Amino acid sequence: MGEWSKKLGEHGEGVVAAFMNMIGWKAPLTGIDLDCYRGPAHSQGTAPRRSHGVDFLFPCVSPLEDEVLKHLLVSSKYSSNAYPASPANKFKDYFLDLAMALECYRRSAQKKMINSGYQGISAEQIAGVLFWINDEDPSDMDVVRKIAASKGIDDLNYNTIYVVDNYRASFLYESITYTRSRYGSENVRFLYPSTGRNISPSTRMTSGTVLPPEYLNSGIVPFVVQQNGVKSLTICCQDNFSSEALSRLVGFSISIGSEFPGKIEISFADYSFAKHEQDVGMVKAMISNKEVAQTVEVTRYSQDFRSISQ
């Protein structure tokens, strides 16, 4: 049983590593041991804790905030079994283990060494990413919704932890795979819209190959597509199709899409031409700028993230 657990853990780390590579989180540190600076408080049993194991560590300069270096500690929790019927306790164990590692990482030698390798940085942000995924549940299983109100996880100084379950991993995998397959990977980049905190003309990037961690739980992923010298905008949405969702995304697209004359594509997981085309036509009819309305296209995406390392 112990050997199987080890193999399963290695498979899970392989899936997460391949996923990270797909979203541009390349060349992370793996299998990191951090010294524990709060041994008694972080103890597991009677003895003070001495270290924290972290599966992956990925540092990157934020494209959404000027001069900010992000340190992302990634924990992979992969299982052959479905999520527990009452997942709060298991989630709390995983969450607090990562939160304690984040606390000690702030004082770690690894953080100091990584900081020394980056120039032009005026601030740092430390965050965790918990991949809690499994082979049993369907790809649209949303366990985060069940544990969103979990108690007893706010006593530690962890700042931000992003939780990626089957539902969120599947959405990211499907949307990225669809867009790259349709337009060619070399023509697709993640869009970095203006946030009010990325205004420096010397460092401002409008797109790139690294997925900002803020997109992990945002419910939409915006892409820049450039073919034959023409830029287009593609936005994949995690929600099911509705006229209201389409209207919101059209408004968002218009607010950021003045530099994309080619096309505004909005893609839903469940879009059906037969069921939804009249609704699409009505939303487009309500766009006052008819030149923009003519460029709006609604599509559908779909695949499964768990085959990524096979």
Chain centre to alpha carbon of residue 92: 20
The answer to whether the CB of 295 falls within 8 A of the CB of 257 is: no
Name which of 216-230, 240-254, 289-303 the model is least confident about: 289-303
51-61: strand order across its sheet: 29-35, 51-61, 68-79, 123-134, 160-164
pLDDT of residue 256: 81
- Region 153-182: mean pLDDT is 91
Mean pLDDT of the chain: 90
Show the 3-state SS of 267-278.
EECCCCHHHHHH
Closest to 257 measured CA to CA, from 201, 203, 295, 302 = 295
pLDDT of residue 23: 97
Q: Which residue has tokens 């019927």?
A: 85
Q: Rounded to whole angstroms, how far apart are CA atoms 215 and 56? A: 19
Q: Rounded to whole angstroms, how far apart are CA atoms 20 and 190? A: 14
303: three-class secondary structure by DSSP:
coil
Residue 111 has pLDDT above 90, yes or no: yes
pLDDT in tens, 119-131: 999 999 999 999 9
pLDDT of residue 258: 62
Upper half-sphere CA count for residue 244 (Cβ side, 13 Å)? 2
pLDDT of residue 257: 62
**Beta strands 230-237 and 264-268, pairing class:** parallel
Q: Rounded to whole angstroms, how far apart are CA atoms 133 and 224? A: 29
Name which of 73-77, 159-163, 256-260 the model is least confident about: 256-260
Residue 159 has pLDDT above 70, yes or no: yes
Q: How confident is the model at residue 151 (pLDDT cuts 50, 70, 90)?
A: confident
Q: Which residue has the higher pLDDT, 2 or 220?
A: 220
pLDDT of residue 80: 85
Q: Rounded to whole angstroms, how far apart are CA atoms 36 and 48? A: 9
pLDDT of residue 4: 42
Q: Rounded to whole angstroms, how far apart are CA atoms 197 and 194? A: 7
pLDDT of residue 224: 95
Amino acid at 3: E
- Phi-psi label, residue 67: left if phi above 0, alpha if psi -120 to 50, beta otherwise: left
Any alpha helices (H) in the chain, and if so which ranges? 2-22, 88-105, 109-116, 144-147, 166-183, 243-256, 273-285, 290-295
- To the nearest whole percent, how much of the chain has pLDDT over 70? 93
Residue 309 has pLDDT above 70, yes or no: no
Residue 2 has pLDDT above 60, yes or no: no
pLDDT of residue 90: 94
Q: How confident is the model at residue 89 (pLDDT cuts 50, 70, 90)?
A: very high
pLDDT in tens, 255-289: 886 677 789 999 999 999 999 999 999 999 999 98
Residue 310 has pLDDT above 50, yes or no: no
Residue 81 structure tokens: 């079994």
Q: Rounded to whole angstroms, how far apart are CA atoms 238 and 217? A: 10
Residue 201 has pLDDT above 80, yes or no: yes
Residue 1 has pLDDT above 50, yes or no: no
